[in-house]
Amino acid sequence: MTLVTKISRIAILASLLTCLAPGAWAASPAPAQEEEPAIVQHMKQINRSLRRLRRQAADAAQKDSSLELVRQMKTHAQAAQKEEPLKTSDLPEAERGPFLKAFREGMGSVIETLTLLESALENEKFDQTEELVKKLFDLKKEGHDQFQKEMEIG
């Protein structure tokens, strides 16, 4: 085999390997995922904890775990209360002030209910915990109906 043939084969092999390399056929790089707004992150954490809490709040054996969940939810609710719902930007300027006030008051009700739930757990009043968890779900539904941006499907 001559030197020219060896070089040709190496060049062909290198070209082939380049074509088969991961991403070589991609038309453009994948778009970077946008980070979720802080309020969405806080609300997701509250929702995850609330779903877990629903299953265990009345169980005395899981008191410590329930208390930790309530404290995490309270921290996220306090942080979310300082944020603006995504729907705010869709409102006329004149409606934003009252909308934000109502949102903050609604989150205040959530925080107040979490405080009552925390106290009930600490004092082992498990008969009250189920009622308070149900109230949190009711507040969630009311809040989402009033403050959550409509999602487009399709």
Average pLDDT, integer, range 127-146: 95
- Asked whether residue 153 is assigned to any structural domain, the reply reads no
Instruction: Report how far residue 54's alpha carbon sits from residue 137's, in angstroms, rounded to the nearest whole number.
Output: 9
Percent over 70 (pLDDT), the chain: 76
Position 153 confidence tier, pLDDT thresholds 50, 70, 90: very low
Give the domain CATH number at 141: 1.20.120.10
- Asked whether residue 112 is assigned to any structural domain, the reply reads yes
The range of the structural domain enclosing residue 45 comes to 38-147
Check whether 84 has a pLDDT greater than 90.
yes
Check whether 152 has a pLDDT greater than 50.
no
- Asked whether residue 10 is assigned to any structural domain, the reply reads no
**pLDDT at residue 31, rounded to an integer:** 54
- Asked whether residue 122 is assigned to any structural domain, the reply reads yes
- Asked whether residue 93 is assigned to any structural domain, the reply reads yes
Q: How many domains does the chain have?
A: 1
- Asked whether residue 70 is assigned to any structural domain, the reply reads yes
pTM of the model: 0.75
- Asked whether residue 60 is assigned to any structural domain, the reply reads yes
- Asked whether residue 13 is assigned to any structural domain, the reply reads no
